[in-house]
């Protein structure tokens, strides 16, 4: 496949020029992109819009989206969903998700590399551990469990081009053990790529087990998971807002540098409801619900009282489309980001592959 070299600076300014052209040549007022007092990209609207439909009509902007070029483009593929990866996607690397660690500290559910036989790029085994107590158990220095786990990880990585560690609940006091664990893996990989997925940060935190500066020397790449700014348990909001992403990238570039940094970009959206009906109540709470909703009929099932009522449910959804993905990618390029990674293949707007390409210039 042929990939054109596309200068980051030219691409970013091409986007601005196209948007300005659309603004000034349109016979109707339409949305434009500008910058606020902080230099951040905003959606600006003219004062003379006649209808809400005009204010929210961004369709002209989709016609002139630039092609965003990066030295490395990672896409994550979940085991069992291999068919969602296409051989012609402009990806340099695939993170194959994901092996796990069982309750005995043993590696399990390792994906079979041959299932991605049709993909010619680099493939990395992704290993996850999302239990705080299990992570502590597996990382304990000099333990038999840790020695066995390191050996299993190195053996499982043999068919792969690299290994990625995605341990998202490392206990705060296990920072030294975590870093020595990574150093062991890197040495044992004998030149294969060791990457790590780390949570987004906007500043240095005291006693942070995911301290970028301390982890940097013992890995080859750091993927920053610049998503879940708002999550299932938070108030509704973007999974990754533009200004938040800009701040995350600025901090990561300053500490990690562009050579080892991969900025994670979400393909998924989230929804929130204004009420959650799945709750436990005191008896007094049940009686209050009955009063507030005018419940007059209570039936019994095997002598247990039960009733049903309905309330209005409002759902709020935030997601990314080609325009928001393009703006985020071009913002990252203008900041000096060379590599991006998408979570995950199959969740995306299909049009995103038309505005992505690999640069022929390899990373330093």
Contacts of 278 (CB under 8 A, 6+ apart): none
This prediction has a pTM of 0.83
Could you tell me what percent of the chain has a pLDDT over 90? Answer: 81
User: Domain spans of the chain?
Assistant: 8-64, 72-271+320-358, 275-306
> What's domain 72-271+320-358's superfamily in CATH?
Glycosidases (3.20.20.80)
pLDDT for the residue 276 = 87
Residues 135-182 have pLDDT tens digits of: 999 999 999 999 999 999 999 999 999 999 999 999 999 999 999 999
pLDDT for the residue 54 = 54
Residues 22-44 have pLDDT tens digits of: 333 333 333 334 333 333 334 33
Q: What value does the mean pLDDT take over residues 274-297? A: 95
pLDDT for the residue 53 = 59
């Amino acid at each position: 496949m042929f990939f054109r070299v596309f200068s980051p600076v030219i691409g970013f300014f091409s986007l601005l020029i196209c948007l300005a052209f659309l603004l000034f040549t349109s016979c109707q007022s339409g949305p434009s992109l500008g910058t606020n007092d902080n230099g951040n990209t905003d959606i600006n609207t003219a004062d003379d819009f006649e209808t809400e439909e005009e204010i929210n009509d961004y369709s002209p902007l989709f016609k002139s989206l630039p092609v965003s070029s990066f030295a490395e483009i990672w896409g994550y593929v979940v085991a069992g969903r291999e068919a969602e990866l296409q051989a012609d996607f402009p990806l340099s690397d695939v993170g194959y998700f994901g092996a796990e660690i069982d309750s005995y500290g043993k590696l399990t559910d390792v994906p079979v590399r041959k299932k991605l036989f049709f993909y010619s790029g680099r493939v990395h085994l992704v290993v996850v551990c999302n239990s705080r107590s299990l992570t502590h158990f597996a990382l304990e220095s000099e333990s038999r469990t840790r020695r066995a786990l390191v050996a299993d990880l190195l053996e499982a990585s043999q068919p792969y081009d690299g290994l990625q560690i995605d341990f998202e609940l490392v206990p705060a006091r296990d920072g030294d053990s975590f870093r020595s664990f990574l150093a062991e893996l890197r040495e044992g990989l004998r030149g294969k790529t060791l990457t790590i997925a780390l949570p987004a940060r906007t500043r240095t935190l005291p006693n942070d087990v995911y301290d970028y500066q301390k982890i940097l020397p013992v890995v080859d790449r750091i993927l920053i998971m610049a998503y879940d700014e708002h999550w299932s348990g938070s108030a509704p909001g973007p999974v990754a807002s533009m200004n938040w992403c800009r701040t995350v990238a600025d901090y990561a570039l300053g500490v990690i540098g562009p050579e080892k940094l991969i900025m994670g970009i979400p393909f998924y959206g989230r929804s929130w409801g204004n009420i959650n009906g799945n709750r436990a109540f005191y008896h007094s709470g049940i009686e209050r619900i009955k009063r507030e909703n005018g419940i007059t009929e209570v039936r019994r099932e095997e002598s247990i009282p039960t009733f049903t009522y309905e309330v209005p449910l409002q759902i709020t959804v935030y997601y990314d489309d080609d325009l928001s993905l393009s703006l985020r990618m071009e913002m990252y390029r203008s900041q000096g980001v060379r590599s991006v990674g998408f979570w995950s293949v199959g969740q995306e707007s299909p049009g995103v592959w038309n505005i992505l390409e690999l640069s022929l210039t390899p990373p330093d």
